[in-house]
Structure 1
Amino acid sequence: MPGHRTPVGLRRTRGRRVRATKPRLAWQMIEAALDAGCTASWVTGDEVYGQDPQLRSALEARGVGYVLAVACTTRVRINQDRTVVQVDTAAAALPPGAWHRHITLAMLALAFLAAVAASAKPAGGPDLNAPARSSNPIGLTIPEIRHLIGALFKQPATSVNSLLVWSIWRRRHQAQARRCHYRRRLAGSSGA
């Protein structure tokens, strides 16, 4: 019907209305705020949002850090990545109250890493094709910052200079791989 409006939370797919999920609605609100010029270094949410990979990907694509909870059935790596267990199994093995302290500290650490990654991000507009043209190394990511901080405390200690040289080398090579990937995708989409 002309002039018919779709109610909030519904979108049309192949002529029928489909209810949007909470993570999808959250992303629409975040995207609208970012497009309007509001700045947000990071966002946080419960497991409803944490289990949605599209929300995480959209946040990463816009350079917004995030701290999102996950369901207790999520599998995680413990013992320096040697063992894979469900979150609830790992939590049950801890002393009473330890899980709350641990998760609070873990979320605080992740929020800190997200804030550092956001503050280290160079200023610039949301040019989606910039990775295809730029020869700069990729920006500092949360895993990269975590690796750098962790390497400072490992024994034998690595010199800060060696650590930074390795980080820049790795990020340049990641940027080169990303550039090739973007160029291939751009070439494929223009020929279609």
Structure 2
Amino acid sequence: MIKCVKTDSPTTAAAASIDLDACRDRFSEVTAAIAGRFPRVEPRRHATAFLRALMAGPSRANCWTLAEHAGYRSPDAFQYLLAQSVWDHDGLRDDLRTFVVDHLGRDRAVLVLDETGDVKKGVHTVGVQRQYTGTAGRIENAQVAVYAVWAGRRSAAFIDRELYVPRSWTADPARCAAAGLPEDLVFATKPALALRIVQRTVAADAVPGFVTGDEVYGNDPRLRAGLEQLGIGYVLAVASTATVALATGPVGAAVLAAGLPEESWQLRSAGQGSKGQRWYQWAYLSLEERPPAGGGRYLLIRRNRTTGELAFYRCWTPARATLAELVRVAGTRWRVEEAFQTGKVLTALDEHQVRRYTSWARWTVLAMLAHAFLTVLAAEQPAPEEDTGMIALTRNETAHLLAALLFTHHHPEQHRWAWSAWRRRHQLRARHCHYQRQQTRMQHPAPLQHRRPSQNTSAKGR
């Protein structure tokens, strides 16, 4: 589908060609596969246009900019698609999972769990509160969601997500109802949401070889127990203060690491990064005096070759696993960071400007589908010949080329002027509404009320 041109010319040797017809056919296959999720033809057409506009790479992505790029006269169609139109976004999520698993492969696949936060203003966006988010690296007014990335041999892409709804929301049914959350919603921690995603994935007959995640997930015993019940091995990071149960009693992970002889450490790569192989020293030890046949529990330890800094992983395997296999799984966790970065940059995963739950669910699943489409295109390309002097087309470069050659529309000048007039009229109406509300509040001030206690939290796992 995506092919490099081999030539003796230095100029053309530095270029790559894309089979646009094949890319159009593949995009048509994807949209045809999800067509059954839309009972009516209009939302199906709008969803297709929405996907094309997302992959066109606008500098800012919202219903206004996407609709202008798609050639619509206003954002009404896209806003209706996200908020009110009748279609099955959960079913489309299932189609997304099938597409990713089938094209990226099941062999030695790892399901990577992690959360990301989107900084928001105000208090009305669903799930928002002041909480820790790794995006900002501190406590911010943010919306947080747990994502799952399917990491195959060639690449990795999103297959599912769950919105984290804090206790400050679940304790307020009226607030949840106003945001369109289900009536029977109860509070769930991030590890509980992650287990829900894994169970849904297994029920769809997409069973990964391993699950991995950071300390939020490794420190939760219920998630680990749930994975063991499903028969799925895991390599989950835990805090350096974690204790592990031995036959002689609980022992600190750091204490066990300090007692290891030097010959226990092996130099192994955690995978190839942007600057080469990521080399660390690794050791592991069984946590069971008599492990069951074939598998068991392990403590995997990583040591930085320069600083000596240690990192720890709880592991469970239903079948015997070598140190090399556990290191491979632990090193796969970086794939989710790459997915977040490319998903936010290439398909606007974090740029939704919606308040209600349904709109959030639909924006994210369409953004994940666009990201998966670009990922599969890049993964299926043939490797360039050695004498071309080029690396293979990456997902970012594939997205850049398709945005310029396939998904860009050249609209007449009148279209741009019409949108300028539409924005200015809308902004004037919004200004008048803001001024009117401000004047009303000044004339009829509301009685003073006691502020609700803050729900701030710095604990990522809550």
The structure with the greater share of residues assigned to helix is 1
Q: Between Structure 1 and Structure 2, whose CA radius of gyration is higher?
A: 2
Question: Does 1 or 2 have the higher relative contact order (CA < 8 Å, sep 6+)?
Answer: 2
Mark yes or no: TM-score above 0.5: no
What band does the TM-score fall into relative to the shorter chain? 0.3 to 0.5
The structure with the greater share of residues assigned to strand is 2
